[in-house]
Amino acid sequence: MSERILKVGIIGQGRSGRNIHANTLSGMKDKFVIAAVVDALEDRRKRAVEDFGCDAYEEYQELFQRTDLDFVVNASPSHLHVPISLDLLNHGFNVLCEKPLAGKVEEVDQLIAAAKKAGKTLGVFQNSRYLPSYLEMRKIIDSGVLGRLVQVSIHFNNFGRRWDWQTLQENNGGNLLNTGPHPMDQALQLFGDDVTPRVTCMMDRANTYGDAEDYVKLLLHGDNRPVIDIEISSCCAYQTGFTYNIQGTCGGLRASANKMEWKYFVPEEAPEQVLTRTPIINADGQPAYCRETLPWQEHSMDLKAKEGVKKEEAFYRMFYQAIANGAPLEVTPQQVRVQIGVVEECQRQNPHIYKR
């Protein structure tokens, strides 16, 4: 039996609404059809009609006359995510909102309450949860071969100056809300979403032309949890080549989008050691240092050659099951609520940038 095809409306035909959402959905014709788009620019509306055979509207409120849409993608500018998503939920639509979902925890709570009251689904497009390198890394971590995680370093760095609307606080701009939802979503899953992490954050305005930050150093930490070191910098001219670096009690892992390397030892195969309180000496009586040869097992994986579904498509497969078949969301608004709480604490700790 063939699956039901969902009718989708998309608000926004910019870099996100068209280049990510529309292009992904139009390539999944067995599950989705783009029925309507909304954009203030006429040329974008005409192009959408030509490319997707859909209806096009200038204002999102024109969608309220329709009863055939299974869900609406909110790919409007970041500062409009909350009011538009609330309006859609209150009018009885399932909503998939681009990141960032909101700028404040109280706004997330409003959205969750509105979805519950309307009996509708609120999704958040955290597609990096399905990044192939991250998924493969999770498999290694979850296998336990690295031992207890001590530190997780995630670097989303580059060097670049920026001067567009996403550099402004009034638009929910800045590196933490623009890029940050990707590494923070991954980090909070590794930290464990059953507790709220303690937060230490430093921010700077380095190369941006706006009033929001373009350098973020963020530490998430807590009792019996790994330290999560997140760096989102727009002034990193020299990069390590690895996005992730994992430190564990039995080994480590590093990964980029294209390659993953990891090594570990099996404790039962390692030399037995006993704590000594006296100086260590060699056989000739000379002072010695703690040295041993561990039986490392080393592996690598070429992620470019590994077959897999693109992260955007993988997210939409999950979201399809939620809308069409009532399956539970794998990325929940409650999880994203923790992320927004971290954002608020980061801003509070940096009053030289965020004065409110």
- Apex CA 130: angle with CA 309 and CA 70, to 5°? 80
On the question of pLDDT at 2 being above 60, the answer is no
pLDDT band at 1 (very low <50, low <70, confident <90, very high): very low
d(CA 82, CA 68): 23
Segment 120-163, tens digit of pLDDT: 999 999 999 999 899 999 999 999 999 999 999 999 988 989 98
CATH topology for the 129-310+339-348 domain? Dihydrodipicolinate Reductase; domain 2 (3.30.360)
- 186, 338 Cβ separation under 8 angstroms: no
CATH topology for the 6-125 domain? Rossmann fold (3.40.50)
Query: In the block, which residue shows the tokens 């099951």?
Result: 321
How many other CB atoms sit within 10 Å of the CB of residue 340?
23
| Mean per-residue pLDDT of the chain | 93
Q: What confidence score (pLDDT) does residue 95 get?
A: 98
Q: What is the dihedral of CA 268, 269, 275, 276, to 10 degrees?
A: 150
Q: Which of 135, 54, 142, 184 is nearest to 301 (CA)?
A: 135
284: three-class secondary structure by DSSP: coil
Instruction: Give residue limits of the domains in the chain.
Output: 6-125, 129-310+339-348
Segment 293-310, tens digit of pLDDT: 899 999 999 988 766 668
Query: In the block, which residue shows the tokens 């039901």?
Result: 4
> Which two tokens mark 172?
């929910």
Long-range contacts of 270-279, Cβ-Cβ distance < 8 Å, separation of 24 or more: 270/294, 270/295
What are residue 92's phi and psi, to 5 degrees? 90, 25
Sheet with 215-221, strands from edge to edge, namely 198-204, 215-221, 227-233, 149-155, 244-248, 251-255, 259-264, 297-302
Strands 32-38 and 6-11: what pairing? Answer: parallel
Q: What confidence score (pLDDT) does residue 307 get?
A: 61
Q: What is the percent of the chain with per-residue pLDDT over 90, rounded to a whole number?
A: 80
Segment 237-274, tens digit of pLDDT: 988 888 999 999 999 999 998 899 999 999 999 999 88
Query: In the block, which residue shows the tokens 């080994």?
Result: 251
Cα 42 to Cα 45, 59, 63, 129: the distances in Å are 5, 11, 17, 34
Residue 277 or residue 307, greater confidence: 277
108-117, 170-179, 266-275: which is most confident: 108-117
pLDDT band at 188 (very low <50, low <70, confident <90, very high): very high
Predicted TM-score (pTM) of this structure: 0.91
d(CA 220, CA 162): 27
Q: How many residues does the chain have?
A: 356
